[in-house]
Every structure is written in C-alpha cells, then in structure tokens.
Amino acid sequence: MRPPTDTKQMNVSTMSTFVFLCITMCLCVIPTRASDRIASLIELYDAKQFFNLRDSVQQIGTIDDPHIDFYRGAVLNKFNDLDAAIEHLQRFLFRIQPVDTTLVIEAHSLLGDSYFKSFDYAFAESTYHHLVTHYGPAMDSARLADAQNMMTILTHLGGVPPQEVRIEQSFELQLRGGLVPLTLNGQSHALAFDTGANLSVLIRSLAHQLELDVMHAGIEVSTISGKRIMADLAVVDSVQIGQAFVQNAIFLILDDSAMYIPQADFQIEGLIGFPVISGLGQLTWTGPQSLRVPESPQECTENNLCLDGLTPLIAGTFRDNRLIFAFDSGADRTVFYRPFYNTFREYLEPRCVTDTESVIGVGGYRNIPACRIDSIRLTLAAQPVVLDSAVILKGKSIDDSEYYFGNIGRDATDRFEAIILNFESMCIQFHE
C-alpha cells in the first residue's frame, strides 16, 4: 500500500512550481518592456526631440539599467544640469560594454560637451582625444571632423582659465540700433547678442585693434552658405556689460570679409555668443530698446528651453503638435525647416506659394527651394504667435535643419513687450 499523500508538501511543491513559472514569465516580460522603452528613447534622441525625451525618461522612474542611465545623462546635458550630466555619463561608461559602440560614442561626445560648457577645457580635451583615438574609425566622417575640430579648439585652450562672470547688481542697458554697448579690455564697442552663435566672434581687424594674442588655430567653421571658413582663437581678458564683468571670454577670430554682408554693404564687427550670454544667467529683452540683467535669476515653473550643444532650443506647438525650434536672437526672421514642411505638407500645400529663399549669414548666402504662406499661427512658451508672412524651406539649409522644425527669429519675439531667457532654470517667457 502506498503511503498517504502529504497534502502540505504537495501544496508547497505546487506553490513552488507556480512561483517559478511566475518568475520565469516576469523575466520574459521585463526585458521586452525595457527593450520597448529603450527603443522609444533611441528614436526620440536620434530625432533630437529632447522635450519628449525628457518626459519619457521621467516616466520610466528609477529603473536601474545602464542604457537608461545614458538617456538620463543626455537629458541632464540638454537641460544644462552639467554636474549631474557628467556623473550619469561617467557611470554609464563605467557600466556599459565597450562593444556598444554607438552609445559609447554618444556618451563621450556629451561628456566632452558638458566639460566644455563647464569651462573645464582640460577634461574636455582629454575626453575628445579619447573619443577620436579609440572610436574614430567607427565614426562617420562629419562626426569625426566635428570631434577633431573640438580637439583643435581645446588644445589651444589648455592653459586658459575658465570663464567667470560676476554681476555686481541688477542693471538695464539701452541698446544702440539693436546692439549691446559693452567694453572689451577697456575699449567701448557695441555688438549684437546672438544666441545662434556657438561662440563669440570678432573680426580680425578689431582683434588687432584690441591687441589680442591671436592663437592661429585653423578651426573649421560651418556657415549657412555650406562653405567652411577658417577661424583662429583669442581670449578677451575682460568684457564688461553693464554691471556684469566677464573674465577669460573665448572668441573666434574671423577674417573681416567673412563677416561682411555685401547685400547690405554692412560690416559686422563681432557677436556675443552663447557662452557669454548664458553666463549672465537671466536676460530680459524689451523689444529692440533695452536689455535687463538681474543680479540673481528667478525660478521658472516650466523648463521649456534646452540645448543641443551650444544651440538653444525652445518648445512650440502647431496644430496640437509639440515641436522643437532653434531660438536665434540674431535672426531677423523666423524660418521653418524641411521637417515642418514634410510633417504638415497636406495643410501647407493649398496655402503655399512656391518660391526660392536666399538664406544669408556668416560666409555668404545660399538659395534654397521654399514656399511662402501669408499667415501662420503657432504657440511659443504658452503664448500665441501669429506671423503675417512665413518662409518654409523645402530643402536643407544646415545640418540641424533636418531635425528642428524651424528657427525662431525676432519677427516672432519683438511683438512681445518683454522676452525673458533664463539659463539657470532653463526657460523662456514672453510677456505682452
């Protein structure tokens, strides 16, 4: 006779089997979900949709995965939280397998960019050097050229102290024909503030007048015309803008001809670019009349400003679609790029008149197939903006025009009584 069955043991055994099956099922499901999430993050990152990327990373929460850690670091870099970005990107590179070449290249690029924007030129140079030396063969030619260009810049900045900004008190400046009065090493000048300029720029004759020690760096600079022009470097020891004192500001030095606009017979002497502008913390433009800078930036309720390298990007809405635009305080007009045309072609075609647009900038101009529309309405920083006339490019202008939906210029912003740019809280506000 068989002994009676031990029901308790049977239940335990059955329970163990059930638990094992549940765990096995979970193990099968979790990687799939994680894989789906990562695939979504890759798509958003590759398309430079950084606001949607931020939202997706926040929704993921605290999942511990090295790939997700990369995207956390990427978001922190794009929203200018540089110390935290460096920490996450370093942790990602420590944890990830070297065979994951694509993300490793991206991580080194973001890490070098974070060091550069922190004015830690030595760490930035070593990061780009490691990137080019170890991963150069795996990089496409354009990406490799950009990294080598950064190495050239950073090699010349090895002994340069970091940029420092001291604001003694809040101030307001009256603009001169849209230009900001300032002093460069004690000499009075007036230059445009251009958020679209990755670095500040001076023409060679002005650098000579200021008796700057020009470093013959041979840096390649991309221009709107598609040409690459050569630039050198110089450090301006002292830039005074109202009650703001900037030390060790980096300037690209261009030949005078590169900054001459023959169509207007106008010589641009220089531009104040992103590193100096962002160093002021917060700026308020009141149309073309004045510029205000507070001693301490205020907190923002919404982070609607981010960075792609040194290019400011803002969120906008058109026909209930959230879009990403470059913000260029140096551009007279707003221009919509090819992704805007392709996305809204069905809406635009009946309203557009085919034309050619001459895009003018440093280094010359280029004619690009385009269409014109009499009126277009969008939302920027929660404010409605109506452009009486708009140009929509059908062709490529600059590399990033394949990702952004347009470049917001002063025709969209000058209609507001005040524009506040806050690089501490990463927001832009428009006030009527």
Give per-residue pLDDT as tens, 274-303: 999 999 999 998 877 899 999 999 888 889
Mean pLDDT in residue range 316-320: 94
- How far are the Cα atoms of 146, 154, 236 from residue 159, in angstroms, in the given order? 22, 10, 14
Q: What is the pLDDT of residue 300?
A: 86
This prediction has a pTM of: 0.86
Mean pLDDT of 315-324: 93
Query: What SS3 state is found at 13?
Result: helix
How confident is the model over 352-394, as pLDDT tens digits? 998 888 776 555 567 888 999 999 999 999 899 999 889 999 9
**Each residue's pLDDT tens digit, 385-430:** 999 889 999 988 777 778 899 999 988 988 899 999 999 999 999 9
pLDDT, position 26: 38
In this model, does residue 15 exceed pLDDT 50? no
Q: Roughly what angle, to the nearest 10 degrees, separates helices 101-117 and 82-95?
A: 150
DSSP state of 136: G
Angle at 242 between CA 239 and CA 246, to 5 degrees: 30
> What structural domains does the chain harbor?
30-156 (1.25.40.10), 164-281 (2.40.70.10), 305-431 (2.40.70.10)
**For the residues of 299-322, what is the DSSP string, one character each?**
P-S---EEEETTEEEEEEEETTEE
- Three-state secondary structure readout of 138-169: HCCHHHHHHHHHHHHHHHHCCCCCCCEEEECC
Instruction: Note the pLDDT tens digit of each residue in 144-173.
Output: 999 999 999 999 998 899 999 999 999 999
- The pLDDT of 232-241, averaged and rounded, is 97
Q: Give the integer Cα–Cα distance in Å for 227 and 267.
A: 19
Least Cα distance to 89 among 109, 70, 65 occurs for 70
Question: Higher pLDDT residue, 31 or 310?
Answer: 310
Q: What integer pLDDT is reported at residue 225 of this predicted model?
A: 57
| pLDDT tens string 321-353 | 999 999 988 888 899 999 999 999 999 999 999
pLDDT at 11 over 50: no
- Mean pLDDT of all residues belonging to the chain: 87
Is residue 395 within 8 A of residue 226, CB to CB? The reply is no
User: Does residue 419 contact residue 429 with C-beta atoms inside 8 Å?
Assistant: yes
